[in-house]
């Protein structure tokens, strides 16, 4: 913990790395311009003034520290290779060399069997030959495709979506008129963009949870953590991200961006060999931030794997420069009034349009609540930008935590009172017909997937033999509440017995015959164990019932029972 | 948000204030020695080198900023009063003047009707007269009492516990031999020390949750947040703390330390007009830290009251200097391996014995879990200090989240299988007899207090008319699971009906007759909604049951049913 760290680049990523280092009292020496964001919060004589692309400056930095790392990949990897004989460089210069060239990155990934979009190199070095080549490539991989600069590309700069052969000339024109090395990438028809922050240590490859990124004008705007996709896809993405980074040398954190396709398949889009915008949320949402993790990884300090898990769902919103020089301050001022938002401003002076000036992170007990809190903040960012806000909600009513299933649609009238209670207590719910005997496969599938769909409690209503609650409970670890429905015979006794008398090992929480009110209230109490807002609403509901009864009694005492009975 | 803040003092409190200001890109100018901890993480030419007790230096600082505040109360309040005509000073110089003199503080509090320990001024200014006075005081307020220096007292320095008249001479000797102004304080027979961080803004007085502080050698060692006392006492302490700080002028955060006496009464011990050691936990545990809150309060920025609530329980442990210069680094290295611990080192150079070198904060979903994580870290601190560790656990088995109650001890055999399940799933539980009909008052009291005692689920077993689960559910918002117990008549039907057929509004989750196994498993599923570890154990339990049944079937298929039936 007495090592000194040198960093090429002192932007916002460097600044947040310094913030993590400050807490551990680890000295970080920044190579960048004099008042770079990272230098502003680190007061010692060890910083180097200059460009992180300047060989002499890099060599000077190397002499001041024990390990050199980067906050940007557009550095001179050859110089890093040279200095790596005298100082540790993490991640390895070879890794930086491969990753900074996006085409080399793709070729490398394919060598390791990592799925990526089909990429074709453009070998020509003048405008005319590049266009000719691209005509052939367009014919092969189809339109639209993405024309990309191999190097120096970030935040959408260096990318050009080519919709047809007519656009080849303007595309090549925009990307250096033949002077820059290019490649073409087959269009990925993705449904969502996902990202995973991966930590490579001396001992192994760890992953943070999979997040969902939303881009606007090719710049990251929002990050939803965890991604609002089924748990199975999140797990697959984490596994793919770990496998991807295992293919590279060196230590530190890596951002792995990927496409989720229609069919559930994942393609790697791009890798960043450093902390990444999609990992900002870890500062508030995880015990260990991506910046802490990067420091620890390059210094061989311990990283307990559980410290990469999230405490709460989070949403990150970039504060991009708007139409005025103080647009970021205006957004921050709105955010200060939100109880669940952390505000980060980077110290970049006046806002320039589209520049990353800061970010906001909302954390909340549920994603639905986080979405509610972030919405007015997105509006504030969009207002500064002068654009209209699109809804980001995963579902109009929020992500339901209660699933209400019934054996037949004829049970729905019995459930109506329960739905009304759930709405009154502002608990979003799903409702569907699942029959134990007529759709046994659907029942098993539903029960097995319930947890990964985000449900926390299941209410199952059934009449007669009423196997639905018990069978559902057999295929999930969630609490299942059974509502016995009075059928044509036996007055509901059949269902009460079928639900209460489950064998030891598989409980069903049985409520009264036809009493969906109590099923809903019980679900609310269960959610209330970990959701103080819901628990409060349950208390308010009871208080209200008490008041109603007391009011009726006051009336009864006042006018006497006979008048009370005649009151209508 | 463009204001500049000046701070008298640049120790660890100033450093953490700067950390909060850095995130908002607010410039903080520190008045302290050149390499003071707070200056190390703030790189700009606005700092002032000098002592925060030096009038000229304070005047110089005032010229560089829009608002002046303090991280220590032992400052020259008269100079602050002078500069307050040209620059804002928060909290007000008058408040600092009162609080820096502990006796004046007590007199001020008494004027506002705030309960404090009886305090008697020592007016003598030489050793002999102070001792004579104290003999009379000792006779009046009794021994032991606390002899205190009015000013310049902190971390136990300036305090002397006087056990008998014989100790008066050494006490006065230790506290300045007559040269310092002293006062005597009646001994408070406290059971716990509590503290509340209070935020005074332009609009009102807000409070963070009540915490419990544990001192060793008169220095704060541990902070448990929230305090491990009943909710009612926590609420009372917050109210008292708000009332106390309402008696002072000015804006900013204040630390309010108090004693909890045997009879549940609270006495104010001391006030700090600044961020405080007992509020460090807010950095990780609350959306808004005490440092954020202090900045926002003195700059009139918004403070949403919900942002002072805790996300998770937390425990803070000070890293005090041990027997070697690197003792704090050794403790930090141990802490890095704990997944729930944040490490803070203050940049104070080599450790001196008893000096605050840094702190650790553990956050966890439950206090019991936080206690488990902090224990080895306390051992690490104590090992560096060369002392033995005392247990800090609130209960040997951790704080139970499940309460199992039954109407009679004759129901216990029925519950045995349930207890075994809870133990197997490592779920701590409380068990007690609560009879609806024979101890109705106890039942109401138990149900009403259940939530504040930390219970999350109640299992209630009863036979016959079996009113216990339903009546308990009427007085709590927690989920209540009912176990119908088979009594001498009606085969258990009586209890099944009494539990399932609760009126709409008050649910009881009924399981099968005598089936405490399922009651315990249902409780585990409910806790599993917000506790991934328990949910995993529920899944493992089901998996194990599945394996057992499959093994039995394999045996049956192998040897046939007749042999199987004869197998014993």
Chain A residue closest to B312 (CA)? Answer: A311
Dist. CA A12–CA A3, nearest whole Å: 22
What chain A residue is nearest to B305 in terms of C-alpha separation? A339
Per-residue model confidence (pLDDT) at position A561: 84
Asked if A271 and A257 touch (Cβ cutoff 8 Å), the reply is: yes
CA distances for B281 relative to A134, B226, B258, B308, B493, angstroms: 59, 10, 18, 12, 52
For chain B, 568 residues long, give each residue's pLDDT as a single digit of tens.
889 999 999 999 999 999 999 999 999 999 999 999 999 999 999 999 999 999 999 999 999 999 999 999 988 899 999 999 999 999 999 999 999 999 999 999 999 999 999 999 999 889 999 999 999 999 999 999 999 999 887 776 788 999 999 999 999 998 888 888 999 999 998 999 999 999 999 999 999 999 999 998 889 999 999 999 888 899 999 999 999 999 999 999 999 999 999 888 999 999 999 999 999 999 999 999 999 999 999 999 999 999 999 998 999 999 999 999 999 999 999 999 999 999 999 999 999 998 999 999 999 988 888 999 999 999 999 999 888 888 776 544 456 899 999 988 889 999 999 999 999 998 999 998 998 888 888 899 999 988 878 899 999 999 988 999 999 999 999 999 999 999 888 899 999 999 999 999 999 999 999 999 999 999 999 999 988 889 889 999 999 988 998 998 888 888 888 888 886 5
**Number of Cβ within a 10 Å radius of residue A534:** 23
Give residue A497's pLDDT band: very low, low, confident or very high (50, 70, 90): very high
ipTM above 0.95, yes or no: no
Phi, psi of B472 (to 5 degrees): -65, -45
- If asked whether residues B85 and B136 sit together in one domain, one would say no
Same domain, B488 and B510: yes
Q: Please indicate whether residue B121 or residue A391 has the higher confidence score (pLDDT).
A: B121
| d(C-alpha A228, C-alpha B20), whole Å | 31
Helical (H) or strand (E) element with A342 = strand A341-345
Structure tokens at B542: 């089901």
How far is residue B270's CA from residue B100's CA, in Å, rounded to a whole number? 10
Q: What is the pLDDT of residue B508?
A: 96
- Determine whether the interchain pair A517/B526 forms a contact, defined as Cβ–Cβ distance below 8 Å: no
Element holding B71 (H helix, E strand): none
Helix, strand, coil abundance in chain B, percent, nearest 5: 40, 20, 40
Q: What is the pLDDT of residue A489?
A: 82
Which of B339, B470, B536 has the highest number of chain A CBs within 10 A, making it the mutation to test binding with A? B339
Q: How confident is the model at residue A568 (pLDDT cuts 50, 70, 90)?
A: low
Beta-strand ranges (E) seen in B133-237 are 145-149, 159-162, 182-186, 190-200, 205-207, 211-216, 219-225
- Between the alpha carbon of residue A274 and those of residues A77, A258, A271, A289, B409, the distances in Å are 14, 16, 9, 13, 63
The partner residue sitting opposite A519, judged by closest CB among B1, B332, B507, is B507
Helix axes A290-298, A12-23, angle to 10 degrees: 70
| Strand boundaries in A383-514, DSSP class E | 402-406, 429-433, 457-463, 480-485, 509-510
Co-location of B213 and B344 in the same domain? yes
- Residue B246 C-alpha, separation from nearest chain A C-alpha, in angstroms: 23
Q: Tokens at residue B558, please?
A: 């192998």
d(CA A182, CA B291): 50
In this structure, the answer to whether residues A424 and A304 fall within a common structural domain is: no
B517–chain A Cβ distance below 8 A for any pair: yes
What is the residue range of B443's domain?
402-528
Are A250 and A379 in the same domain?
A: yes
Count: domains in chain A: 5
Tell me, yes or no, whether B112 lies in a domain. Answer: no
Q: Which residue has the higher pLDDT, A113 or A388?
A: A113
The CA distance from A271 to A258, in Å, is 9
Q: Please list, in sequence order, all residues whose beta carbon lies within 8 angstroms of the beta carbon of residue A354, skipping any fewer than 6 positions away.
A: A155, A217, A219, A320, A321
DSSP A44-111: STT-EES-TT-HHHHHHHHTT-SEEEES-S-S-HHHHHHHTTTSEESS-HHHHHHHHSHHHHHHHHHH
Nearest to B332 among A1, A329, A506 (CB): A1
pLDDT digits (tens, 9 = 90+) for A90-140: 999 999 999 999 999 999 999 999 999 999 999 998 999 999 999 999 999
Say what the pTM is.
0.79
Q: Is A535 on the interface with B (CB under 8 A)?
A: yes
Whether residue B123 sits in one domain with residue B9: no
Q: What pLDDT is stored for residue A275 in this prediction?
A: 98
User: What is the chain A residue with the closest CA to B455?
Assistant: A529
* 466-485 of A, contacting B, C-beta below 8 A: 477-481, 484
Give B498-564 as a DSSP string.
HHHTPPTT---EE--TT-HHHHHHHHHHHHHTT-HHHHHHHHHHHHHHHHHHHHHHHHHHHHHHHHH
Same domain, A84 and A211: no
Give the end of a domain, one of A385, A411, A429.
A385
CB A443 within 8 A of CB A474: no
Q: Which residues of A touch B340 (CB under 8 A)?
A: 287, 306-307
For B142-179, where are the alpha helices, taking DSSP H only? 168-174
Within a domain: A64: yes
Q: Stretch A474-494: mean pLDDT, rounded?
A: 92
Partner A contacted by B114 (CB < 8 A): no
Which chain A residue has its CA at the smallest distance from B530's CA? A530
Number of A to B CB contacts under 8 A, please give it.
Answer: 227
> What is the distance, to the nearest Å, from the Cα of residue A393 to the centroid of all Cα atoms in its chain?
13
- Note whether A317 and A224 are same-domain residues: yes
Q: What is the pLDDT of residue B40?
A: 98
CATH number at residue A283: 3.30.470.20
Q: Which CATH number fits the domain that encloses residue A141?
A: 3.30.1490.20
Position of tokens 């049985």?
A510
Q: Is residue B94 part of a domain?
A: no
CB contact under 8 A, B296 and A336: yes
CA distance A176 to chain B (A): 37
Contact B23 A345 (CB under 8 A): yes
Is the Cβ of B452 closer than 8 Å to some Cβ of chain A? no
Same domain, A490 and A367: no
pLDDT of residue B12: 98
Considering only residues 163 to 192 of chain A, which have any Cβ-Cβ distance to chain B shorter than 8 Å? none
Q: What is the CATH number of the domain that holds B451?
A: 3.40.50.1970
**A339–B306 C-beta distance less than 8 A:** yes
B322 plus B408 within the same structural domain: no
Say if residue A31 is in the same domain as residue A175: no
B24 touches chain A (CB under 8 A): yes
Instruction: Give yes or no for B545 touching A (CB within 8 A).
Output: yes
Choose one of A186, A207, A242: the last residue of a domain.
Answer: A186
- C-alpha Rg value of chain A to the nearest Å: 29
**Phi and psi of B34, rounded to 5°?**
-55, -50
pLDDT exceeds cutoff 80 at A548: yes
- Could you tell me if A356 and A495 lie in one domain? no
Do β-strands A356-363 and A341-345 pair in parallel, antiparallel, or remain unpaired? antiparallel
- Measured between beta carbons, the chain A residues lying within 8 angstroms of B2 are 329
Q: What is the pLDDT of residues A19-31, one digit of tens each?
A: 999 999 999 999 9
At B292, list the tokens. Answer: 């954020």
Which chain A residue has its CA at the smallest distance from B474's CA? A542
Q: So what's the pLDDT on residue A398? A: 52
């Amino acid at each position: 913990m007495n090592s000194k760290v040198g960093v090429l680049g002192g932007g916002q990523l460097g600044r947040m790395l310094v913030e993590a280092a400050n807490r551990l009292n680890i000295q970080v020496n920044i190579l960048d311009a004099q008042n770079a964001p990272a230098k502003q919060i680190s007061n010692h004589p060890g910083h180097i003034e200059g460009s992180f692309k300047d060989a002499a400056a890099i060599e000077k930095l190397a002499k001041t520290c024990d390990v050199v790392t980067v906050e940007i990949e557009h550095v001179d990897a050859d110089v890093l290779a040279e200095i790596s004989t005298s100082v540790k460089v993490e991640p390895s210069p070879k890794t930086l060399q491969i990753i900074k060239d996006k085409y080399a990155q793709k070729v490398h990934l394919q060598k390791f069997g990592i799925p990526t979009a089909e990429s074709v190199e453009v070998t020509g070095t003048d405008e005319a030959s590049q266009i000719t080549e691209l005509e052939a490539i367009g014919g092969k991989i189809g339109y639209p495709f993405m024309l990309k600069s191999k190097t120096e590309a970030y935040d959408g700069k260096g990318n050009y979506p080519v919709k047809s052969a007519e656009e080849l000339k303007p595309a090549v024109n925009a990307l250096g008129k033949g002077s820059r090395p290019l490649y073409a990438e087959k269009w990925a028809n993705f449904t969502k963009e996902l990202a995973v922050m991966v930590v490579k240590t001396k001992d192994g490859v760890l992953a943070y949870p999979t997040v969902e990124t939303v881009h606007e004008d090719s710049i990251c705007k929002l990050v939803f953590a965890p991604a609002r996709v089924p748990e199975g896809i999140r797990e697959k993405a984490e596994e793919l991200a770990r496998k991807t980074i295992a293919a590279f040398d060196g230590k530190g954190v890596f951002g792995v961006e990927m496409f989720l396709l229609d069919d559930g398949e994942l393609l790697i889009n791009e890798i960043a060999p450093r902390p990444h915008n999609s990992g900002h949320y870890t500062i508030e949402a995880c015990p260990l931030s991506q910046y802490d993790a990067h420091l620890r990884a390059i210094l061989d300090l311990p990283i307990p794997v559980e410290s990469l898990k999230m405490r709460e769902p989070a949403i990150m919103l970039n504060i991009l420069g708007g139409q005025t020089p103080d647009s970021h301050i205006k957004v921050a001022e709105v955010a200060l009034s939100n109880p669940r938002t952390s505000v980060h401003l980077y110290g970049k002076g006046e806002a320039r349009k589209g520049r990353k000036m800061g970010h906001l992170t909302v954390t909340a007990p549920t994603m639905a609540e986080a979405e509610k809190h972030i919405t007015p903040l997105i509006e504030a960012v969009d207002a500064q930008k002068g654009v209209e806000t699109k809804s980001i909600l995963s579902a109009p009513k929020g992500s339901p935590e209660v699933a209400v299933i019934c054996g037949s649609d004829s049970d729905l009238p019995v459930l109506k009172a329960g739905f009304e209670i759930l709405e009154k207590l502002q608990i979003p719910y799903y409702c569907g017909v699942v029959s134990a005997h007529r759709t046994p496969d659907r029942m098993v599938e539903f029960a097995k997937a319930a947890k990964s769909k985000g449900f926390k409690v299941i209410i199952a209503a059934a009449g007669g033999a009423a196997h639905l609650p018990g069978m559902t409970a057999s295929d999930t670890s969630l609490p299942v509440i059974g509502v016995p429905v009075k059928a044509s015979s036996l007055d509901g006794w059949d269902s009460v017995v079928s639900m209460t008398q489950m064998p030891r090992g598989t409980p069903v929480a049985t409520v009264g015959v036809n009493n969906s009110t109590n099923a809903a209230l019980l679900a609310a109490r269960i959610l209330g164990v970990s959701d103080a807002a819901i628990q409060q609403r349950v208390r308010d509901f009871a208080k209200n019932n008490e008041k109603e009864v007391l009011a009726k009694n006051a009336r009864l005492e006042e006018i006497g029972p006979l008048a009370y009975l005649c009151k209508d």
